[in-house]
Amino acid sequence: MSNAVSALQGKTYAGFATVTEAGLQGMITLRGDLSSAKVKKAVKAAAGVDVPAQRRIVLKDGKGAGWMSPDELLILVPYAEARAAVDALSAALAGEHALVADVSDARAMFRVKGARADQVLMKLCPVDLPSLAEGELRRTRAAQVAAALWKSDRDEFTIVSFRSVASYVFGALETSARPGSEIS
Partner 1 sequence: MLTLECPYCGVKAEETELQAGGEAHLKRFGPGSSDEDFDGYMFSRKNPKGVHFERWRHSYGCGKWFLAARDTATLEVFGTYPAQSKEPPADLQAKIKAKRPKWEGYK
Partner 2 sequence: MSTRLHRGGRLIDRAKPLSFTFNGRRMKGYQGDTLASALLGADQMLLGRSFKYHRPRGLVASGAEEPNALVGLGEGARFEPNQRTTTTELFDGATMASQNHWPSLEFDVGAINNSFGRFLPGGFYYKTFMFPRFAWKHLFEPVIRRSAGLGKVPKDRDADRYEYAYAFADLVVVGGGIAGIAAALEAGKAGKRVLLIEQTAHWGGRAPVDGVEIDGKPADEWVNKTVEILGKMENVTLRLRTMASGLYDHGYLLAYERIADHAPGDGRPRHRLWRIRAGHVVTATGAIERPLSFAGNDIPGVMLAGAVRDYVVNWAVSPGDRTVIVTNNDDAYRTALALVEAGLIVPAVIDARAHVKGALPEAARARGIRVLEGRGIAKVKGGKRVTGVSICAQAGEGAELEFIDCDAVAMSGGWSPVVHLWSHCGGKLVWDEARAMFRPDAARPPTGEDGKAMVTAVGSANGALTADEVLADVAAQIGGKAARTDAAAESALEPVWVMPQGAGPALRMKMWLDPQNDVKVSDVQLAAREGYHSVEHTKRYTTLGMATDQGKLSNINGLAILSDSLSQAIPQTGTTTFRPPYTPISMGAIAGEARGEIFQPLRKSPMDEWHAANGAYFEPVGLWRRPYCYQRPGEGVHEAVNREIGNARSKVGMLDASTLGKLVVKGPDAGKFLDMLYTGVMSTLPVGKCRYGLMCTENGFLSDDGVVVRLSEDTWLCHTTSGGADRIHGWMEDWLQCEWWDWKVYTANLTEEYAQIAVAGPNARKVLEKLGGMDVSAAGLPAMEWREGVLGGCRARIYRISFSGELSYEIAVPASEGLALWKALSAAGEEFGVMPYGTEAMHIMRAEKGFIMIGDETDGTVIPQDLNLNWAISKKKADYLGKRAQERSHMASPERWKLVGLETLDGSVLPDGVYAVAEGVNANGQRNVQGRVTSTYFSPTLGKGIAMGLVRHGPERMGEVLDFPGDGGKVHKARIVDQVFYDKEGAKQNV
What is the binding site for partner 2 (CB under 8 A)?
Answer: 3-7, 24, 29, 31-32, 71, 83, 97-99, 101-107, 119, 122-128, 130-131, 143-145, 162-168, 171-172, 175-176, 178-181, 183
- On whether the CB atoms of residues 74 and 28 are closer than 8 A, the answer is yes
Partner touching 57 among partner 1, partner 2, none, CB below 5 to 8 Å by kind: none
Comparing CA positions, the residue from 7, 4, 3 lying closest to residue 108 is: 7
Q: Strands, DSSP E only, in the chain?
A: 12-14, 18-21, 26-31, 57-60, 63-69, 72-77, 99-102, 107-113, 138-142, 145-153, 156-162
Partner touching 138 among partner 2, partner 1, none, CB below 5 to 8 Å by kind: partner 1
Using the rule CB under 8 A, which residue among 1, 3, 95, 126 binds partner 1? 126
Q: Which is nearer to partner 2, 27 or 60 (CB)?
A: 27
Q: Does 139 bind partner 1 (CB under 8 A)?
A: yes
**CA-to-CA distance for 19 and 182, rounded, in angstroms?**
15
Using the rule CB under 8 A, which residue among 138, 149, 152, 176 binds partner 1? 138
Q: Which is nearer to partner 2, 61 or 128 (CB)?
A: 128
Up-side HSE of residue 52: CA atoms within 13 Å toward CB?
A: 25
